[in-house]
A and B are shown apart, each in its own frame.
Chain A
Amino acid sequence: MSEPAPPSPATMRERFVAWLELPAPLLRLEIVRILAPLAVLGFMSPRLAYADEWLGLAGFRVPDLGGDMRQPIYIPGLPSEVVWTFAAVMVVSGLLCSLGVRTRQSALVFAATLVFVTLSDRLAAFTVSKISPIVMVAVAAAPAGQRLGVDSWLALRRGGALPAREAPQGSLRFIQLFVPIFYCASGVAKARGEWLTNRFVLYSHLHDSYQTSVSWFLANHTPAWSWTGLQVLVLALETLAPLWFALRATRTTAWVLAMGMHVMIGLMFGPVLWFALLMMTLGTAAFMPPWMLAPLERLAGRFEARWVVRPSAVAP
């Protein structure tokens, strides 16, 4: 969060509202708009490849359990031709959002498809399925797509003005709250589980079908106590995340540690890679330090300057 501290209003509520309204770099939200749909589509890709097994009648479907807690809603399988049309809508809307084509509409359509698949097949629904619609609604509600997208490129080619670099963005503030709150809830859940009573929780997860060559190698070449050290670090990072990310002094360190945690998760737990990439996208957009954002700003500015049609180049 590169923005200057808000002026000091009287109450906490006023300070919070002032922070919500404070302009922030649009580029942060464009990072979410460009990368989050790709991470989500990556997660969905094994499912999309077999869409008729996933959402249609070709695969196994849990019968209507009439209100069982493990089946929030029963949605019957779709006919094959509908399934493939639906899959195409999901892929196209996700890609259009990432490319910045009709960003608001494409993000909303993509979010709607994500809600449907999460409810339709609980067997293939995981954390990515559940948080991605929320992220896409946040993109749709934001001024996303104003920079580094097809629509913004076309606007510049038509002689439009360069987009502003900063604006108030409720959606970015939402993501800046979402990340630490998610970590905190996750950390408390771990503390209430076995993370405080069993020193080898992390180590115990290196053995099953999530195992990759990296986790297998590390399990055999690192001392067991190092996993306990990582366990303590993760628990401290997650449980106190609101504090680490709120304090200017610890924010960058917390971001680096969180990114490191997700890199490890992505490398060590097979299909969890896409979850790691989605969280890295959100974490980077929300908390990447300003000095790291600056070169990206310059690069984006250079592209946009190239796209602008100079008055001399406009036909009389």
Chain B
Amino acid sequence: MKPGLGRIALRALAGLYLAGLWMDGIGCNVPGHVLPRSFNLFLSVAALFTEADHYILEYRAEAWVCDERRWRELDPRPYFPIDVDNKESRFQRAMYMHHKDARTMRALDAFLVDHHNHHAGADGIGKDLPIGGVRLLALRIPFPAVGEPVPRYGWRPLEEYPKDVRHAWYRTGDTVIQQRCGGGPPKDDATPAPRENPAPLPDGDTAGKEGT
């Protein structure tokens, strides 16, 4: 019995899907060039855990506390409750995927400030302490050499990490902080303010960590 047109079309689609999936996995760019991005997204599935981790990558936030006139750690987890304790958290993903994008960083800045000031959760800063801006940073935490005892992973306060594992990606601009608080951060703050065309990333924050 000869297959009908519908069956032939289904088979052709299935064949194209499988060919596209395979090509995307092996690094062939053809599907990316010929398909709309929203279609191509469904083909980008096979390249998993392709690179070694060289450190534990975590993203964190600090907030400028208006009354105290200082930066304190702001725990973003109450405002990102999905997969809160692992790297599939939407905060971790937003930082991982968009830390070079000033528009997304500004939106994240506004979201965190608004949520703390109006719907404060247990984010480590008192509900009665308004914040005027945020610093968003990456922690690149080294792990022990092969064969040494492996520590249990867990969330630790920012202050427990030395300065050299912190890499700042974004800070609310002084003018915005002044508008929100009536006073800006100290002038010696070297964290980069938002830029439309940020400098290239140092190695590591985007390589091979797409997750599954």
A interface residues with partner B (beta carbon < 8 Å): 20, 46-47, 49-50, 53-54, 59-63, 65, 68-70, 72-73, 115, 118-119, 121-128, 130-131, 133-134, 138, 141, 170, 174, 177-178, 181-182, 184-186, 188-190, 192-195, 198, 200-211, 216, 219-220, 223-224, 269-272, 275
B186 within 8 A of A: no
Residues of B within 8 A of A46 (CB): 82-83
Q: Is A124 within 8 A of B93, CB to CB?
A: yes
Instruction: Select which of A62, A63, A201 is within 8 A of B52 by beta carbon.
Output: A201
With both chains docked as a complex, state the minimum distance between the C-beta of A183 and any C-beta of chain B, in angstroms: 8
B146 within 8 A of A: yes
B205 within 8 A of A: no
Given contacts A73-B37, A130-B45, contact A186 B25 (CB under 8 A): yes
Q: Is A211 within 8 A of B93, CB to CB?
A: no
A-B complex: 4 closest residue pairs judged by Cβ atoms: A185-B25, A193-B50, A185-B46, A189-B47
Given contacts A72-B37, A194-B50, A271-B86, contact A182 B42 (CB under 8 A): no
Q: Is B37 within 8 A of A207, CB to CB?
A: no
Q: Is A205 within 8 A of B49, CB to CB?
A: yes
Residues of B within 8 A of A133 (CB): 42
B149 within 8 A of A: yes
Q: Is B27 within 8 A of A205, CB to CB?
A: no
With both chains docked as a complex, state the minimum distance between the C-beta of B15 and any C-beta of chain A, in angstroms: 9
Q: Is A122 within 8 A of B97, CB to CB?
A: yes
With both chains docked as a complex, state the minimum distance between the C-beta of B189 and any C-beta of chain A, in angstroms: 25
With both chains docked as a complex, state the minimum distance between the C-beta of B187 and any C-beta of chain A, in angstroms: 30
B98 within 8 A of A: yes
Within 8 A of A (CB), among B88-136: 88, 90-91, 93-94, 97-98, 101, 103-104, 107-108, 111
With both chains docked as a complex, state the minimum distance between the C-beta of B38 and any C-beta of chain A, in angstroms: 4
Residues of B within 8 A of A53 (CB): 80-82, 90
Residues of B within 8 A of A138 (CB): 14
Given contacts A122-B97, A174-B14, A184-B22, contact A209 B85 (CB under 8 A): yes
B10 within 8 A of A: yes
Q: Is B150 within 8 A of A220, CB to CB?
A: yes
Instruction: Select which of A70, A200, A210 is within 8 A of B87 by beta carbon.
Output: A210
Residues of B within 8 A of A206 (CB): 150
Q: Is the interface of A mostly helix, strand, loop or mixed?
A: helix
User: Interface size on B (CB < 8 Å)?
Assistant: 64
Q: Which of B17, B22, B45, B81 has the most chain A CB atoms closer than 10 A to its own CB?
A: B45
Residues of A within 8 A of B103 (CB): 63, 65
Binary per-residue interface labels of chain B (23-63) against chain A in the complex, 1 for a CB within 8 Å, 0 otherwise: 01111000000001110111111111111111011100000
With both chains docked as a complex, state the minimum distance between the C-beta of A16 and any C-beta of chain B, in angstroms: 10
Residues of A within 8 A of B93 (CB): 123-124
With both chains docked as a complex, state the minimum distance between the C-beta of A180 and any C-beta of chain B, in angstroms: 10
With both chains docked as a complex, state the minimum distance between the C-beta of A78 and any C-beta of chain B, in angstroms: 16
- 5 example contacts (A-B, Cβ-Cβ < 8 A) are as follows A65-B103, A121-B90, A131-B42, A193-B47, A275-B212
Q: Is A270 within 8 A of B86, CB to CB?
A: yes
Nearest CB in chain A to that of B90: its residue = A123
Q: For the complex, give the distance between the alpha carbons of A187 and B49 in Å.
A: 10
Residues of B within 8 A of A128 (CB): 212
Q: For the complex, give the distance between the alpha carbons of A128 and B146 in Å.
A: 31
Nearest CB in chain A to that of B36: its residue = A72
Residues of A within 8 A of B50 (CB): 189-190, 192-195
Q: Is B25 within 8 A of A189, CB to CB?
A: yes
With both chains docked as a complex, state the minimum distance between the C-beta of B197 and any C-beta of chain A, in angstroms: 14
Q: Is A60 within 8 A of B80, CB to CB?
A: yes
B79 within 8 A of A: yes
With both chains docked as a complex, state the minimum distance between the C-beta of A27 and any C-beta of chain B, in angstroms: 21
Given contacts A59-B80, A219-B150, A224-B147, contact A189 B26 (CB under 8 A): yes
Q: For the complex, give the distance between the alpha carbons of A218 and B55 in Å.
A: 19
Q: For the complex, give the distance between the alpha carbons of A182 and B108 in Å.
A: 35
Residues of A within 8 A of B46 (CB): 182, 185-186, 189
Q: For the complex, give the distance between the alpha carbons of A134 and B85 in Å.
A: 29
Q: For the complex, give the distance between the alpha carbons of A72 and B41 in Å.
A: 7
Residues of A within 8 A of B97 (CB): 70, 122-123
Residues of A within 8 A of B58 (CB): 208-209
Q: Which of B14, B27, B36, B91 has the most chain A CB atoms closer than 10 A to its own CB?
A: B14
Nearest CB in chain A to that of B10: its residue = A141
With both chains docked as a complex, state the minimum distance between the C-beta of B83 and any C-beta of chain A, in angstroms: 5
Q: Is A208 within 8 A of B146, CB to CB?
A: no
If A60-B111, A128-B212, A178-B18 are given as contacts, then 7 extra A-B residue pairs at C-beta distance below 8 Å, sorted by A number, are A65-B101, A72-B41, A123-B93, A177-B18, A184-B25, A270-B86, A271-B86
Q: For the complex, give the distance between the alpha carbons of A92 and B209 in Å.
A: 33
Q: For the complex, give the distance between the alpha carbons of A205 and B48 in Å.
A: 12
Instruction: Select which of A72, A182, A224 is within 8 A of B38 by beta carbon.
Output: A72
